[in-house]
Amino acid sequence: MTTTFYPPFLGARLMSTLDHLTSGRVGCNLVTSHNVRTAQNYGLDEQIEHDTRYEMADEWIRLVKALWDSWEPDAVEFNEETGVFANHEKVHHVDFQVAGMPHVDH
């Protein structure tokens, strides 16, 4: 999974789903996509500079971990009688600011 172009939320959701479906028998190879053709697939003329890609990857990993940690282990209730999927008090807001980007209040 390329941390340079794959959205962190989608990465967190995909890996969490695969972890659930495989009972924890899943792994993920994270890459920073060094090839210029990959960058061109995403509308860039050139690849992002090496050190910047690795800074982005570190930030991507921090955000994915924060998303995973935002759900307490027993948050999912899946109660068909009440229609409650998850206990909202056990799902926490992730307030993450991307480096170099202005903070947006929700």
- Triad 92, 15, 49: Cα angle to 5°: 95
Mean pLDDT of the chain: 91
| Predicted TM-score (pTM) of this structure | 0.84
What's the pLDDT at 98? Answer: 72
The CA distances from residue 82 to 32, 74, 87, in Å, are 44, 17, 11
Handedness of CA 61, 64, 70, 71 (dihedral sign): negative
In 1-106, where does DSSP find H-type helix?
8-21, 36-41, 50-69
Confidence of residue 106 (pLDDT cuts 50, 70, 90): very low
